[in-house]
Amino acid sequence: MSNYTFTANVYKEDDDYVAECAELGTTSQGRSFEEALDKLKEATKLYLQAAPDARIIPAEQRADLIIGVRELEAAYAQELDEPIEPVDIHLVGTTTFTVEPAYA
């Protein structure tokens, strides 16, 4: 069985870095770019181990999921009558990473 290669988008969010696997939607975070990427590799490996038949989520479906979460957050904040504080998030890099397949 060959290794899996995925794309990672890494964002700077306040003082932390957030890494997201573009194809699967797995995410992780760390205090540095490298730490976030290392944790993303581990999270993705565990995800594939837990869901060996996982499918790649098309970008437009991931965008719909993100929009849905944002709408839920807004509704919850409105219910609590509290504003959502803006978060400073920006893309700092895109790279690829490889995960070895898990063997049962």
Q: Judge whether 63 lies within some domain.
A: no
Facing residues of 7 across strands? Answer: 96
Q: List the CATH number of the domain containing 22.
A: 3.30.160
Tokens 């499918």 -> residue: 55
User: What is the average per-residue pLDDT within 53-61?
Assistant: 65
Q: Write out the DSSP string of 5-38.
A: EEEEEEEEETTEEEEEETTT--EEEESSHHHHHH
- 23 with 6: CB under 8 angstroms? yes
The pTM score is: 0.67
Give the pLDDT score at 63: 57
Q: Judge whether 10 lies within some domain.
A: yes
User: What is the average per-residue pLDDT within 66-92?
Assistant: 67
Q: What is the C-alpha to C-alpha distance for residues 91 and 9, in angstroms, rounded to an integer?
A: 7
Q: Judge whether 31 lies within some domain.
A: yes
**For 11-23, how does the pLDDT look when each residue is reduced to its tens digit (9 = 90+)?**
888 889 999 988 8
Does position 67 have pLDDT exceeding 60, yes or no?
no
Smallest Cα–Cα separation from 26: which of 9, 12, 14? 9
Q: What is the C-alpha to C-alpha distance for residues 92 and 13, in angstroms, rounded to an integer?
A: 10
Pick the residue with more confidence: 68 or 5?
5
* Confidence at 104, pLDDT banded by 50, 70, 90: very low
Q: Judge whether 104 lies within some domain.
A: no
* Confidence at 3, pLDDT banded by 50, 70, 90: confident
Query: Domain range holding 16?
Result: 4-57+88-99
Q: What is the C-alpha to C-alpha distance for residues 48 and 44, in angstroms, rounded to an integer?
A: 6
Does position 32 have pLDDT exceeding 70, yes or no?
yes
Domain tally, the chain: 1
